[in-house]
Amino acid sequence: MADRFIDSAVAVPASLDWLRATETGRIWLDKLPVLLETACEHFGLSEIGSPFSGGNVSLVVPAKHDGEDVVLKLQFPDHECRHEAEALWRWNGKGAVRLLKHAPELGALLLERCRPGQFLADDTETDRIGVVAGLLRLLTIPAGDPFTRLNDEAARWRDSLDHNWMAAGKPCEQYLVDAARKALQDLCLEKEAEEVLLHQDLHGHNILSSERDTWLAIDPKPLAGDPAFALSPIVRSFEFGHSKAEARYRLDRLSEELELDRERARYWTIGQTMAWAFSSSYAERHFETVRWLLVDD
């Protein structure tokens, strides 16, 4: 079976090219044909299609399993993706794509196929923020082990801000870095009273239309911690509108509808947005969002 698709299917998407910069990444990319063949044999897959584009830490391909459409996801061993399978098991298809099978030794997940699979970001006729609010109600469930704690991840972001800013060539004003560091420091000083399962990358291209349940989240990069953090990826999601008014609207509406602490959500957004900005091709848009959030009038 493998010989029929290995050479044609493993056309590595350009979004994975950044992995060539590290030895670990190069090794994983070189192993992809064997990983794909092994995972397909392990799960009993056929009719492997061309990879989906856009994934930054995974190779994702359509396939058939017992005649049904499925998706095979091969994960690069990145710490942010750790425990993705466990998060999907916990959600059990409620608000998120359903995990069908998992082969942790291969870093392979077998997922349900979302049809029609349109990105929420591209559906301008829908109340997109209302969709997000509905998903967050489903995704917000109690969590603890084995997930990385939000405060531990935030401490890592805080401690790497200055280095990453300088390594990137100081692409923004220092006060943005200082504000993010202070926000993360203050948030981490407070013990998390409630730990919920968090999708730390819930933007408009990680939500797909589905015949089963209208809209489903994918690619969770899970954490466990403060519920207010859940708004961070949505507030900075420029595909939902990139202006001060639109970013503030998302913050205000979601914090009110979901009864979350607006100020904590604002500070979490400032902290995570800056921590992720320096490695992003959309860095300047993220810097703009933080500027808007720091002037809270």
**Is 215:135 a contact under the CB 8 Å cutoff?**
yes
Q: For this structure, is 159 an active site residue? A: no
Which spans in 2-149 are helix H?
6-9, 23-43, 84-91, 128-139
Q: Which residues contact 281 (CB under 8 A, 6 or more apart)?
A: none
What sign for the dihedral angle of Cα 193, 199, 201, 202?
A: negative
How far apart CA 111 and CA 71 sit, in angstroms, is 5
Give me 224's structure tokens.
């466990």
- Selecting among 122, 201, 213, 296, the annotated active-site residue is 201
DSSP string, 89-107: HHHTTSSBPPEEEEEGGGT
Catalytically annotated residues: 201
